[in-house]
Amino acid sequence: MSLTPIQHEKPKLIDQIVAAKRKELLAKRVQQPLSLLRDRIEKQDPARSLVAELNWPGQHLIAEIVRASPVRGAYAVSESTAELARSLTSVGAVALSVVTESRHFGGGIRDLISARQAVSCPLIRRDFIVHSYQVYESRAYGADAVFLLTALLTTAQIEELMTVCAELGMESVLEVHTQVDLQRATSLRPRLLCLNDWRLEDFLLERGTALELLDNVPENALTVASGNIQTFAQASALFSKGAKAILVGAAMVAAQDRQAKAQELLEGTRGDRDAD
């Protein structure tokens, strides 16, 4: 009698990423103890406020420094991180999201360092943050805020990380992908929320998620909408439902004319039509 082999389900990419991140953390905490990070933090200028930027009237653009995605592969970006940061802020980005995950998104802590040296706007570290050590690391290397993925953390863990952020003078942005995420996040009364159209389980796009989530955002939360925003129609729909800012990565990074792209997203006009 032959036996049917047991089929083991392959771990989801997000689980692989988080497992690798935890392993990486073990090495980092030995190589650079928390005491060294605290020393670096003491030498940093006070953190810049994303809340203050988003409280200004109008519709805002947060651009993202990202060099790859698990789905699309590497983006065609030849500029250094410093050049990219200066370019994105020069066309109107009020803050920069800096992706520091290396294996699947092409980033690293070096990008945070370079961006901080190049620009003075708020920097938000975007990574898979699962431990308070990463918050200290973020502040030590110039981040003013961090994204916290609600789906990856327990409520107690989120509270702990938000507390560490506050103690370091940083802001936390709770990132949500589902109604369940949003319910958990809003129970913590966050000042900043990021609503994302990308599905965490497979990094595929589920267009319309952020729009639906905007219906249930509490009034006191400042909301950033994210997820492959490419056109004025997409941006306008999000702004009309209450988003204070859009977070745009690939469309801005890969744009041949970033000024025109920023104007298109925020105003519905392209730069080359301004003179008409």
CATH number at residue 79: 3.20.20.70
The number of domains in the chain is: 1
Residues 6+ apart with CB under 8 A from 225: 194, 195, 210, 214, 238, 243, 245, 246, 247
> How many whole angstroms from its chain centre is CA 221?
17
Provide the pLDDT for residue 276. Answer: 31
The mean pLDDT of 246-261, rounded to a whole number, is 94
Provide the pLDDT for residue 7. Answer: 44
Write down the mean pLDDT value for the chain: 91
The vertex-114 CA angle with 190 and 22, nearest 5°, equals: 55
User: What is the Cα Rg of the chain in Å?
Assistant: 19
Residue 144 belongs to a domain: yes
Above 80 in pLDDT, residue 4? no
**Measured between alpha carbons, how far is 190 from 173 in angstroms, rounded to an integer?**
8
Query: Containing domain of residue 180, as a range?
Result: 46-268
Provide the pLDDT for residue 202. Answer: 75
Residue 130 belongs to a domain: yes
Query: Which run of H or E residues covers position 60?
Result: strand 60-65
Mind spelling out the 3-state secondary structure of 66-102?
CCEECCCEECCCCCCHHHHHHHHHHCCCCEEEEECCC
Instruction: Count the residues in the chain.
Output: 276
Residue 234 belongs to a domain: yes
Supply 79's token pair.
Answer: 């500029």
Task: Determine contact, residues 108/138, Cβ cutoff 8 Å.
Answer: no
Continuous H helices in 214-276: 232-240, 250-253, 258-267
Provide the pLDDT for residue 10. Answer: 55
Residue 21 belongs to a domain: no
Above 50 in pLDDT, residue 274? no
Residue 259 belongs to a domain: yes
Categorise residue 203: left if φ over 0, alpha if ψ from -120 to 50, beta otherwise.
Answer: left
Above 90 in pLDDT, residue 243? yes
**Measured between alpha carbons, how far is 261 from 143 in angstroms, rounded to an integer?**
26
Backbone angles phi, psi at 258, to 5 degrees: -70, -35
Provide the pLDDT for residue 93. Answer: 97
Residue-wise pLDDT tens digits, 9-49? 556 888 999 999 999 999 999 999 999 999 999 999 999 99
Residue 13 belongs to a domain: no
Above 70 in pLDDT, residue 83? yes
Q: Which residues pair with 193 in a beta bridge?
A: 174, 223
Residue 236 belongs to a domain: yes
The vertex-234 CA angle with 233 and 235, nearest 5°, equals: 95
Above 50 in pLDDT, residue 1? no
74-78, 157-161, 196-200, range with the lowest pLDDT: 74-78
Residue 22 belongs to a domain: no
